[in-house]
């Protein structure tokens, strides 16, 4: 039996700009209905990859298909299956919000699409700005119009390139509520963001790019579990920190004049290590007055992976 | 093959958007060039009336009007495609045209047709406001229409070409001032090439704009510097070359898709 069609299938894609190898043999596959994060520092190649998927940039090597349609050879079907929210805050100053959406609809061959346009305006909190010129909108509103433009043809695959940059917290919540709904309805979502908390909360799988290469690709929960543990913040009295725990020190012991004890922060590589560490402290004559275990989040994982890769 | 597919709906929307774009600022894109042409006519006809007779029995004012009409058609057809594309490139909103399933032929046809409409609307406006000031006649209106349509198509195509090539407004201004403007002014808008020396006549005949203006003028007076059929062939050939080049660049995504 053949494998089901991928929402997005990127195979061995490379792209060079002059001396810069923007993408180097990148392969990844996003399944229909998946919420996928593409993360990486600035210049990692995320936007180049999205541009190649969108047909705005051509790869030097490799192939990309959207819902089984090659983005070069079968560009019409591939683009109909794809909605892209570009990173740049771009708009056409000649038109109102509704005109902008009707025009975008028409490009996809949808002439009578007002019901869906109204729904988009409602869900993205733009209904009262429908007849306002694009120039009159705030940055956050323009960003939401970009989202509406990407969704106007109801694509099964949606690429969001930093969609919440410059959007305030309340509007961000509105946006994510709507995108989550689309995802529940079966749309595959690929998100790039610098807000790693968003990726952690929303995305079931994550790929991390560094210098044009995929350095990590796995389920979000597995990734965080793999880097489980974190930091153990201690306030102790009695003896000093045992020598065998010195290699785990993140912040060395500081004397606390008020209590006569000391505070320190130790690295814990896994939850299973906590109890043996506490036992060593007790055996060394330390009394543990207070402790706090701080777990890693995606941001810690991201930093560790980027430092290591 | 995808390269020759044509989607009517996408094309119609892009055409409508391009028409709306210039119509929303029609004071600047239609009324202003009509006024400029009227001023040309008033100044030149006042200064040269009685001094110049380009064709026997045709006053200089009457001679000038078809030239000014055609100049307006050409310049505005060029301005429409070129300004739309360069603005979209620089502001980044060209992405809205590049992301949908529009083929290069649809993009070409929409931009050029919108440019033709603007050029012809402005040309008609110039004709309407200058007509009462002259003793103009229409000896062969079909020829005039044919040259207006083909001329606007060529300049719409050149506007698109310039928009594809230019990466900043400065480059676009250079193309307009150092290519379009000289070719327009040296095309016989203000004079008959019969008044030139044989050398400059020969040079004029290398200018495709000359055939557009001369053929268009034939439609009014039934007289021209070269036979209208030759002009039509020259104009059609120029359009074929410009269109082929522009379509090739669009299909490769040159300076549009990186």
Residue A191 binned pLDDT confidence (cut-offs 50, 70, 90): very high
The predicted model scores a pTM of: 0.86
From B24, which residue of chain A is nearest by alpha-carbon distance? A94
Within-domain flag for B171: yes
For A97, residues 6+ apart whose C-beta sits below 8 A from its C-beta are: A121, A126, A129, A130, A131, A132, A134, A137, A145, A148
Give the pLDDT confidence of B48-87 residue by residue, as tens digits: 776 666 777 788 888 999 999 999 999 999 999 999 999 9
What is the ipTM for the molecules in this complex?
0.89
Radius of gyration of chain B, Cα coordinates, nearest whole angstrom: 19
How far is residue B174's CA from residue A9's CA, in Å, rounded to a whole number?
44
Percent of chain B residues topping a pLDDT of 90: 74
Q: Give me the pLDDT at residue A137, please.
A: 94
What number of other Cβ atoms are within 10 A of residue A257's Cβ?
6
Q: Where in the sequence is the domain holding B118, given as residue range(s)? A: 2-252
Q: Which has the closest alpha carbon to A87: A209, A192, A197?
A: A192
Question: Is B142 a member of any domain?
Answer: yes
| pLDDT given at position B22 | 95
pLDDT at B19: 97
| Rounded mean pLDDT, A81-106 | 95
- B137 domain residue, yes or no: yes
Overall average pLDDT of the A25-35 stretch: 96
How many structural domains comprise chain B?
A: 1
Q: Is B210 a domain residue?
A: yes
Convert B106-131 to b/e letters by CB count within 10 Å (16 or more is b): bbbbbbbbbbbbbbbbbbbbbbeebe
Q: What does the pLDDT average to over A234-246?
A: 91
Q: Is A212 left (phi over 0), alpha (psi -120 to 50) or beta?
A: left
Residues 70-89 of A with CB under 8 A from B: 73-77, 79-80, 82, 84, 86, 88
Contact status, residue B231 vs residue B214, Cβ threshold 8 Å: yes
Q: Domain for residue B200, yes or no?
A: yes
Select the residue of A56, A80, A90 nearest B258 (Cβ to Cβ): A56
Contact B257 A55 (CB under 8 A): yes
Give the end-to-end CA distance of chain B in Å, rounded to a whole number. Answer: 23
- List A residues 109-138 in contact with B (Cβ-Cβ < 8 A): 109-111
Residue A169: what pLDDT?
Answer: 82
Query: For A169-179, what is each residue's pLDDT tens digit?
Result: 888 888 899 99
Q: Is B258 part of any domain?
A: no
pLDDT of amino acid B18: 97
CB atoms closer than 10 angstroms to residue B83: 20
CA distance A176 to A188: 14
In the three-class reduction of DSSP (H, G, I as helix; E, B as strand; rest coil), residue A79 is classed as helix
Angle between helices A169-184 and A114-123 (to 10 degrees): 130
Mean pLDDT of all residues belonging to chain A: 90
Interchain contact, B10 vs A109, CB within 8 Å: yes
Q: What is the CA radius of gyration of chain A?
A: 24
pLDDT of residue B162: 97
- How high does pLDDT run on average in chain B? 92
Q: Is residue B71 part of a domain?
A: yes
**Is residue A62 exposed (0-12), middle (13-18) or buried (19+ Cβ within 10 Å)?**
middle
Convert the pLDDT of each residue in B201-228 to its tens digit: 888 899 999 999 999 999 999 998 899 9
Report the residue from A51, A88, A103 with minimal CB separation from B13. A103
**Residue range B138-192, pLDDT digits in tens:** 999 999 999 999 999 999 999 999 999 999 999 999 999 999 999 998 888 888 8
**Is B257 domain-assigned?**
no
- Tell whether the model's pLDDT for residue B3 goes beyond 50: no
């Amino acid at each position: 039996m053949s494998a089901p069609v991928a929402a997005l299938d990127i195979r061995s894609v490379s792209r060079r700009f002059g001396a810069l190898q923007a993408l180097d043999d990148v392969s990844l596959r996003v399944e229909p209905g998946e919420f996928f994060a593409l993360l990486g520092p600035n210049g990692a190649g995320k936007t180049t990859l999205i541009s190649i998927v969108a047909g705005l940039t051509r790869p030097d090597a490799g192939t990309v298909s959207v819902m089984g349609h090659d983005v070069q050879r079968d560009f019409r079907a591939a683009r109909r299956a794809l909605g892209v929210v570009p990173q740049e805050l771009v708009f056409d100053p000649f038109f109102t919000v509704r005109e902008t959406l009707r025009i975008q609809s028409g490009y996809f061959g949808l002439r009578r699409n007002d019901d869906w346009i109204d729904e988009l305006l409602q869900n993205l909190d733009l209904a009262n700005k429908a007849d306002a010129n694009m120039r009159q909108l705030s940055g956050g509103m323009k960003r939401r119009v970009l989202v509406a433009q990407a969704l106007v043809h109801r694509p099964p695959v949606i690429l969001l390139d930093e969609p919440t940059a410059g959007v305030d917290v309340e509007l961000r919540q509105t946006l994510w509520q709507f995108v989550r709904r689309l995802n529940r309805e079966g749309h595959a979502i690929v998100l790039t963001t610098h807000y790693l908390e968003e990726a952690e909360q929303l995305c079931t799988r994550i790929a991390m790019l560094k210098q044009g290469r995929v350095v990590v690709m796995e389920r979000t929960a597995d990734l965080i579990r793999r880097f489980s543990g974190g930091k153990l913040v201690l306030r102790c009295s009695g003896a000093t920190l045992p020598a065998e725990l010195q290699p785990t020190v993140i912040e060395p012991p500081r004397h606390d004049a008020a209590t006569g004890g000391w505070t320190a922060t130790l690295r814990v590589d896994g939850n299973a290590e906590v109890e043996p560490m506490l036992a060593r402290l007790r055996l060394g004559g330390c009394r543990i007055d207070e402790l706090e275990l701080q777990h890693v989040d995606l941001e810690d994982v991201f930093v560790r992976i980027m430092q290591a890769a | 093959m995808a390269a020759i597919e044509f989607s009517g709906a996408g094309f119609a929307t892009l055409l409508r958007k391009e028409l709306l774009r210039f119509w929303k600022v029609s004071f600047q894109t239609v009324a202003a060039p009509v006024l400029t042409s009227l001023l040309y006519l008033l100044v030149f006809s006042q200064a040269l009336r009685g001094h110049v007779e380009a064709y026997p029995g045709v006053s200089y004012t009457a001679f000038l009007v078809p030239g000014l009409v055609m100049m307006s058609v050409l310049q505005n057809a060029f301005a429409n495609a070129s300004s739309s594309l360069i603005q979209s490139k620089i502001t980044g909103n060209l992405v809205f045209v590049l992301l949908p399933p529009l083929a290069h032929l649809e993009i070409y046809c929409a931009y050029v047709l919108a440019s033709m409409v603007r050029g012809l609307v402005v040309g008609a406006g110039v004709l309407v406001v200058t007509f009462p000031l002259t003793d103009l006649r229409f000896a062969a209106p079909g020829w005039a229409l044919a040259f207006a349509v083909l001329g606007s198509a060529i300049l719409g195509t050149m506007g698109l070409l310039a928009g594809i090539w230019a990466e900043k407004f400065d480059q676009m201004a250079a193309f307009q001032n150092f290519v379009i403007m000289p070719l327009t002014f040296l095309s016989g808008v203000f004079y008959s090439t019969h008044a030139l020396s044989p050398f400059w006549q020969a040079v004029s005949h290398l200018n495709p704009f000359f055939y557009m203006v001369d053929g268009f003028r034939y439609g009014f007076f039934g007289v021209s510097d070269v036979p209208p059929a030759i002009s039509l062939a020259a104009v059609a050939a120029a359009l074929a070359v410009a269109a082929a080049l522009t379509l090739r660049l669009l299909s490769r995504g040159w300076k549009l898709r990186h």
